[in-house]
Structure 1
């Protein structure tokens, strides 16, 4: 979904590419499907699945949080929180974590779904809370990053980063790496903080605003930072993609690229869905483009994820597309849902988990994965 569409009731975007008949070379099959309530309920929120142990967790906009068996999709527990969930669920420290439109962060026990605590933050949460080493980290829509005690939700620290007048409707989720937290902001800044104290360790500009209008100056980091080894990668809307040394904060390379969907990676390439919904493969060592596929232009693609030799993206009509990781050619597709797939595919142990906007969750596998 183009995040600029929320600025107007009219859809002036270009028409999406039509799908052409093709013989699929990918033996994909759905091994189970289930429902997580009403899903996103046609709201622009950030709801994602996560897997911990032998369970997969998901949440709906209307407040339903469910745990399912990852292998079968059978329900383990279900909780109706009666909250407007806007971000999550996230995981860590034995918790299921989510944020709400009413500026709350809520922690449930992973085993039972019982509420452990809830905490008030400064504004709506449109990111996925993360937890590690006793700290829960959440990014709010007003540009603040909160560190909360994982035991009781008490505030440990707050990092405040001013935001531009006009921003995309969304937030980058924090990434916890060892004793650090990395997060991108609507200003085009990427920061690394000490996880326990919230102290700033480094800050870099991925893209600097340019242009005369506020619209032209938007350089939000809406996709989550991608960590590979000792390097973190980030990409902005209307800006650049950057590789940064985690240890020093030094920019290793940067290239022109605009994306709000985000990135995925394997052992040799980074994959990006750009603002025109072209899927681009980038060399992580120097930022050069290895290939680009334009066949799914304006189909409102998710961030790409990788399963075996295939790059996977979801689209606005509920299709999961398979591209070759070698040259980007389209290899096949399978329709998972009647609603859009806005959440990136989740790949765990050779299984792809899909969560569609209408609440449909499915597990997909391919025989050569």
Structure 2
């Protein structure tokens, strides 16, 4: 068994799909199978938002959740804090229900009609959506709050996830048998992904590190000015990450190395920080600051194209770029859509309930899940 010693600090992991055979990006017409839409956590989709969105329906789950919704074949899934998995079809009808009978905080991941989800009691469960039954469970020695991901690992389709027992696990997607594990110095709390054959993560010790998953060796690291409260985001070979001092960094990655890095934004406000995942397009970085501003930043020159002041506390929900629009939710419960180029307000809706998760977007619809367990479906009139 190969092992990899990582480092101390609250770790947030990231996995990008680039160069990963067998990877599913979760961006089918009626699918949003992964947190943030893709394994790179880019927060970008070319699926456009509805032109003139209205609330088509809402479904009250009546149990609190910190999950983001995921969508498979038009049905939206999430798990509440009591371990109840719910599935609501495109018309707002409940079509799936399954009880794990234990506390859950993680966002699920769906691959090949199997829902994978971490549990507070330390297990990762694989639940068949067709059979409505648990296929297998994998036990760790700490709670699993991290969102899992799927990747072809050494010829075997595997599920990759972190645990509070300080390990990152790779298990066989078919039967849950362990393929590999990597030891860290602190518990693993964030979403996982792979950039080519490397794991990239940042944490509370202010270090951003790159680990080669096949050799089990660290290949590079970078000390930032402050700790990293959210996962990095990747577009191609470029990685972007914000720190708690209000700085945003761009890193060019090559063969597991950081061959170039620079700050593309340095905050002049000592109270500014970036606590949600950035969103990346071919030209722009979108960043949500705790000052309540959503920033559009030019990737090439680092110039702020525009900034927009949102209503209420922003919380941890991360923005999404959907073709030519940006959608963002605040902890206060406001859902806002802006023109991505101009930063002008296109649409706004007050849900009346707190939001900490990210939206899910499919053809002609988008979904928002509140902390009270209310799923809201928006579409064209």
TM-score of the superposition, structure 1-length normalised?
Answer: 0.76
Distance in 2, Cα, partners of 1:157 & 1:83? 26
Aligned position for 2:261: 252
Aligned position for 2:205: 187
Distance in 1, Cα, partners of 2:116 & 2:55? 28
Is structure 2 residue 174 aligned with structure 1 residue 151? yes
> Residues 232 and 299 from structure 1, CA distance in 2 versus in 1: closer, same or farther, beyond 3 angstroms?
closer
> Residues 102 and 323 from structure 1, CA distance in 2 versus in 1: closer, same or farther, beyond 3 angstroms?
same
* From 216, 236, 239, the counterpart of 1:199: 216
The answer (yes or no) to whether the contact 1:277–1:301 under 8 Å persists in 2 is no
The answer (yes or no) to whether the contact 2:68–2:359 under 8 Å persists in 1 is no
> Residues 285 and 108 from structure 1, CA distance in 2 versus in 1: closer, same or farther, beyond 3 angstroms?
farther
Aligned position for 2:288: 273
* From 46, 61, 67, the counterpart of 2:81: 61
Moved more, 76-85 or 284-293: 284-293
* From 56, 59, 81, the counterpart of 1:34: 59
Distance in 2, Cα, partners of 1:325 & 1:101? 38
The answer (yes or no) to whether the contact 2:163–2:189 under 8 Å persists in 1 is yes
Is structure 2 residue 245 aligned with structure 1 residue 238? yes
Cα displacement string for residues 102-139 of structure 1 (whole angstroms, at most 9, x for unaligned residues): 22211112333311111122322232111122111112
Task: Give the superposition deviation at 1:180.
Answer: 4.6
Distance in 1, Cα, partners of 2:204 & 2:337? 31
Distance in 2, Cα, partners of 1:291 & 1:341? 24
Uncovered stretches (5+) of structure 2, i.e. residues with no partner: 1-50, 268-272
Distance in 2, Cα, partners of 1:76 & 1:302? 27
Distance in 2, Cα, partners of 1:229 & 1:99? 28
The answer (yes or no) to whether the contact 1:93–1:132 under 8 Å persists in 2 is no
Aligned position for 1:357: 371
CA RMSD between the two structures: 2.8
Is structure 2 residue 308 aligned with structure 1 residue 293? yes
How do 1:1-369 residues align onto structure 2 when only pairs under 5 Å count? 27-40=52-65, 45=66, 47-69=67-89, 71-133=90-152, 134-141=157-164, 143-163=166-186, 171-177=189-195, 179-194=197-212, 197=214, 199-200=216-217, 202-205=219-222, 207-209=224-226, 219-222=227-230, 224-238=231-245, 240-248=247-255, 249-250=257-258, 251-254=260-263, 255-256=265-266, 258-296=273-311, 298-300=313-315, 302-336=317-351, 338-365=352-379
Cα displacement string for residues 221-253 of structure 1 (whole angstroms, at most 9, x for unaligned residues): 42x332212222222323632223343331433
Moved more, 339-348 or 122-131: 122-131
> Residues 208 and 141 from structure 1, CA distance in 2 versus in 1: closer, same or farther, beyond 3 angstroms?
farther
Cα displacement string for residues 283-311 of structure 1 (whole angstroms, at most 9, x for unaligned residues): 23344322222343634362111234332
Distance in 2, Cα, partners of 1:93 & 1:132? 12
> Residues 97 and 152 from structure 1, CA distance in 2 versus in 1: closer, same or farther, beyond 3 angstroms?
same
Task: Give the superposition deviation at 1:343.
Answer: 0.6
> Residues 312 and 112 from structure 1, CA distance in 2 versus in 1: closer, same or farther, beyond 3 angstroms?
same
Partner-residue secondary structure (3-state), 2:107: strand
TM-score of the superposition, structure 2-length normalised?
Answer: 0.74
Task: Give the superposition deviation at 1:345.
Answer: 1.4
Higher normalized contact order (CA 8 Å, seq sep 6+, divided by chain length): 2
> Residues 302 and 173 from structure 1, CA distance in 2 versus in 1: closer, same or farther, beyond 3 angstroms?
same
Distance in 2, Cα, partners of 1:348 & 1:194? 34
Distance in 2, Cα, partners of 1:162 & 1:124? 16
Partner-residue secondary structure (3-state), 2:254: coil
Moved more, 145-154 or 298-307: 298-307
Uncovered stretches (5+) of structure 1, i.e. residues with no partner: 1-25, 165-169, 210-218
